[in-house]
Chains A and B, each alone.
Chain A
Amino acid sequence: MVTPHAAGQPVLELKGIGKEFGAIRALHGVDLCIFPGEVVGLMGDNGAGKSTLVKIIAGNFPPSHGEIRFDGQAVHFARPIDARAVGIEVVYQDLALADNLTAAANVFLGRELKRKFGPLAFLDHKAMAARALELFGELRSETRPHDLVKQMSGGQRQAVAIARTRLSNAKLVMMDEPTAAISVRQVEQVLGLIHRLKEQGVAVMLISHRMPDVFAVCDRVVVMRRGEKRADKEIGDTSPEEVTSLITGAKEAA
């Protein structure tokens, strides 16, 4: 496999990102590059600045300092929809699914396919189901478009949430703790889904506390502590022990 770094231009480039909330400095001087088809693990203890960083990239709020470049262009996001428009998708920890709707309805929520009859626009159920099934097929998840999400397993739900990101052909998918609350078999499935995204040239940022998962799928691991990036290493050059000591602060930086 080609090493992603050789692939040239990074899909996402952060330069000196900082964020203050009043007197609290949540992030300071974070530089980070993510390349197409690369899976980067973002690790750190609670309060290390992971979710602040993710929220800045996802457009929930702007950084106080620094610059975000996406596909080589400087970008400024006022709202999450702006980030989505350029190709950044987030899979939230609670998955942001409406339980009472079908898998297909959730995948297309907010971007329904419609057919126009004069001035009226009606949902195109058939086209949405077909496209959703295609996406589940790509993700190799056994999920029926017409099943209700509330009847699904954790892995299937994850597949629905990830299929949603595939709809727009996102270039960067950030996943917040996708393996935190599901069974061992389903963790396998989710890691499989991440591999599928990678195969299709999508950059993935995996925010996780689970060391084995990060070491199973990531090409690179970034460790945050006290609002700063303390390490950014190829997965082959580090070890779970080293990452743990970086997270806890036993080792200051690497």
Chain B
Amino acid sequence: MATPLESPISFSNVGRAKWWQSGFFASQTSYVLLALVALFVVMNFASPYFFTEGNLQNVAKNFSFIAIATLGVTLVIITAGIDLSVGSMMCFSAMITSMVMTHISTPGLPGAEWFVHLAADGKTVIANVPGLILVVSVLAGLGVALMVGLVNGFCIAVLGLSPFVTTLGMLSIVRGLGYVVSNGRGSFPSGPDADYFYALTSGVVFGMPAPFIYLVVLAVAMAVVLHHTSFGRYVFAIGGNEKAAALTGVPVVRVKIEVYVICALAAGLQGIIVSGWLGSAPANMATSYELNVIAAAVIGGANLAGGVGGPLGAIVGCVLLEVIRNGLVLAQVNSYWQQALVGVIIIVAVLVDRIRSRMA
């Protein structure tokens, strides 16, 4: 069989699926992408400001503020799970990052002597190693996310608790911990490395907002992992048929824990980035963001029943939500309509997919 794809089989009864009935073109993501393009065209005629550089940059920045977390949640949803704790996680990681940064940048506090010293004038704080404070504080923020993800994953994959209940509990636990450590007060990233922090989170690189660049890099990485590694294949297999995956030797427990850890890390990173843009990490930051994030994932084609979804869908969902919000503002519609409209879009997107799969 030198040329196996020339195939020992002749297909007499089994036709080839038409190109629009298979792959990307048959996914909900493609329909929503089409709707998004249509929306762009409509917006172009509806408002002369929509296609200005400033507005597009704004849109890109705003959707990047939930899109990284949406990538993580999409991964969880593909395994037929759910993570409701992303909003709280965003806040907690942001808070830990800015608190750690403030702490180790204040001379005299325990541990700070490793990172900073006072200049000769006795007032100016100078970093021992420029950038080290930033790295340590961001790692601290991601570290707590890692731990929360491990607890989520352990409860769901090892103890067998339902993802909904576990992460609902975690939503409350993490938000509560946030209030405990901060006493309800917001915290600000400060100290000698704060400028780096702001540059990396809310700066502009090559005319694009920095968060947008992170998003693109992470989305490409996720696409490669999902479609070209065995981990990605296992994620889809667990979502499609968890029992079958276990029977065929897929390490189901390990993959599920990893998925929740990645989701928590994505939410943590997202929170840190958002706090850079806000300039602070208030204790009520990102409250109920989990709903926006899950809505974006579902609109983009992630199926809550598991087995379907991808990074492009996550981004398309986020862009659609943001363009609608932006469009309503430009069209001077009462912004309270936004929330109602988002709900309608969720249902319509899922409905279109339902009708399509009935017809196929």
Interface positions of A (Cβ within 8 A of B): 80-81, 84, 92, 94-101, 105, 109-112, 114, 120-123, 125, 129-131, 133-134, 136-138, 140-144, 147-148, 151, 156, 164
Instruction: Evaluate contact between A109 and B12: CB separation under 8 angstroms.
Output: no
Instruction: Evaluate contact between A97 and B5: CB separation under 8 angstroms.
Output: no
**How many angstroms from the CA of A250 to the CA of B11 in the assembled complex?**
48
Complex contacts, A134 vs chain B, CB 8 Å: 1, 4, 8
* The one of A98, A109, A142 that contacts B13, using a Cβ cutoff of 8 Å: A142
Shortest A55–chain B CB gap in Å is 12
CB-based nearest B residue for A141:
B9
Complex contacts, B178 vs chain A, CB 8 Å: none
**How many angstroms from the CA of A175 to the CA of B243 in the assembled complex?**
17
Instruction: Evaluate contact between A123 and B22: CB separation under 8 angstroms.
Output: no
Complex contacts, B5 vs chain A, CB 8 Å: 129-130, 133
Interface positions of B (Cβ within 8 A of A): 1, 4-5, 7-14, 16-17, 22, 224, 227-230, 233, 236-237, 239-241, 243-245, 247-250, 307-308
Instruction: Evaluate contact between A96 and B4: CB separation under 8 angstroms.
Output: no
Instruction: Evaluate contact between A111 and B249: CB separation under 8 angstroms.
Output: yes
**How many angstroms from the CA of A99 to the CA of B11 in the assembled complex?**
22
Q: List 7 A-B contacts (CB under 8 A).
A: A100-B240, A109-B237, A109-B244, A110-B249, A121-B230, A130-B4, A142-B11
Complex contacts, B9 vs chain A, CB 8 Å: 133, 136-137, 140-143
Shortest B46–chain A CB gap in Å is 38
CB-based nearest B residue for A147:
B17
**How many angstroms from the CA of A99 to the CA of B241 in the assembled complex?**
7
Instruction: Evaluate contact between B4 and A133: CB separation under 8 angstroms.
Output: yes
Complex contacts, A84 vs chain B, CB 8 Å: 249
CB-based nearest A residue for B10:
A142
**How many angstroms from the CA of A233 to the CA of B247 in the assembled complex?**
32
Most buried by A among B237, B243, B250: B237
* The one of A122, A137, A164 that contacts B229, using a Cβ cutoff of 8 Å: A122
Instruction: Evaluate contact between B236 and A98: CB separation under 8 angstroms.
Output: yes
Instruction: Evaluate contact between B249 and A81: CB separation under 8 angstroms.
Output: yes
Chain B: interface secondary structure?
A: loop
Shortest B245–chain A CB gap in Å is 7
Instruction: Evaluate contact between A100 and B8: CB separation under 8 angstroms.
Output: no
CB-based nearest B residue for A108:
B233
Instruction: Evaluate contact between A144 and B240: CB separation under 8 angstroms.
Output: no
Known contacts: A105-B233, A142-B13. The answer to whether A99 contacts B249 by CB under 8 A is no
Complex contacts, B245 vs chain A, CB 8 Å: 98, 109-110
Given contacts A94-B243, A105-B236, 10 further A-B contacts (CB under 8 A): A97-B244, A99-B241, A101-B240, A110-B245, A112-B230, A114-B230, A137-B8, A140-B9, A142-B13, A151-B17
Instruction: Evaluate contact between A98 and B237: CB separation under 8 angstroms.
Output: yes
Shortest B75–chain A CB gap in Å is 15
Instruction: Evaluate contact between B250 and A110: CB separation under 8 angstroms.
Output: yes
Instruction: Evaluate contact between B308 and A112: CB separation under 8 angstroms.
Output: no
Shortest B274–chain A CB gap in Å is 31
Complex contacts, B1 vs chain A, CB 8 Å: 134
Complex contacts, B228 vs chain A, CB 8 Å: 122-123, 125
